[in-house]
Amino acid sequence: MSDSLILLFIQFILGVAALVKGADLLTDGASQIAKKFGVPEFVIGLTLVAFGTSLPELTVNVIASLKGNSELTMGNVIGSNIANILLILGVSSVIYPLKVHRAFVKKEIPINFIATLILIAMANDILIDGKSESVISRSEGLILVFTFLGYLYFMAAFLEREDIDEEVSNSVSLPKGVIFILLGILGLTLGSNWTVDGAVGIATALGVSQMMVGLFLVAVGTSLPELLTSAVAALKRNPDIALGNVAGSNIFNISLVLGVSSSIKPVPVVERANFDLSVLFIATLILLVAVLLSSRNILTRREGTVFLLAYIAYIIYSGYVEFR
């Protein structure tokens, strides 16, 4: 491995670390300020926690779009959503079987499935409209953004009707919240630039497509907040957070992350994307069936192991197709 490639990997790793820490600081700071002004706890949980774990994907994709690396954008969204289901839920349910009993999780997972179908339809202009190429256009991006706003409104209205225990914090500091937000923005800005530049450099040096790097290297890197959050939730035997985090993050990635990115610059869909979209569709369908139709409403360790093996097989097959 050449020195320049090693430096690119170091740049990428530092970028991902800055992204994760920046998202954490920004979310904590926003939560502090929201509590200071009396925003209900469930609203903070719905918007800031879910949004915070999707900030790495959002900032990376915005920077990639601005720099003209749109292929990286599509790979990151599809790869992150596949990793969220097969890798993150796989790890979480192996740690502790995930029993589903909260109604809002059962609502989020069907919405996640519908969002995936919308993504597949938008990414297939060639098959559906007979066009010469497939692109997520600016108008489709705006539709996705408005869909995200509708999703937030729907979930806020639903959760407001639920009995939710709220904890009131007595240690809320407004200056601390502002400092956290500023540091978080700095971390996200530097981290997203380092991550994109490192990923594009690695793709060029190894002779692989940006789509491939986005699907695995960038996707897994930007999914670290979801992985850590869900794994800790499983260790603490809190399945609603693990499942809700994954379903909510996938909806955020499709509606907000891809919506904002394609609104900035149309996102081209490469030919191999349909294979990855098929994997995402199957994984989402399996999750829907496992959660809604299972008599026990449990993701068992056995199912988690199957998810992990499926993700490993997906990586191996994708590598074989790329390098053959």
**Would you tell me the crossing angle of helices 70-82 and 239-252 to the nearest 10 degrees?**
160
pTM: 0.82
Structure tokens at 201: 């450099």
Dist CA 58 CA 47 (whole Å): 14
Residue 122 is predicted with a pLDDT of 94
154-161 average pLDDT score = 69
Q: 3-class DSSP state for residue 168? A: coil
Least confident of 8-12, 53-57, 142-146, 157-161: 157-161
Which burial class, exposed, middle or buried, applies to 171 when counting CB atoms under 10 A from its CB (0-12, 13-18, 19+)? exposed
136-151 average pLDDT score = 93
Average pLDDT, the chain: 81
101-106 average pLDDT score = 62
Q: What is the 3-state secondary structure (H, E, C) of 142-164?
A: HHHHHHHHHHHHHHHHHHHCCCC
Dist CA 292 CA 243 (whole Å): 13
Contacts of 232 (CB under 8 A, 6+ apart): none
List the domains of the chain with CATH numbers: 3-323 (1.20.1420.30)
pLDDT tens digits along 224-278: 777 777 777 777 776 666 677 788 888 989 999 999 999 999 998 988 889 999 9
Specify the DSSP class assigned to residue 267.
E
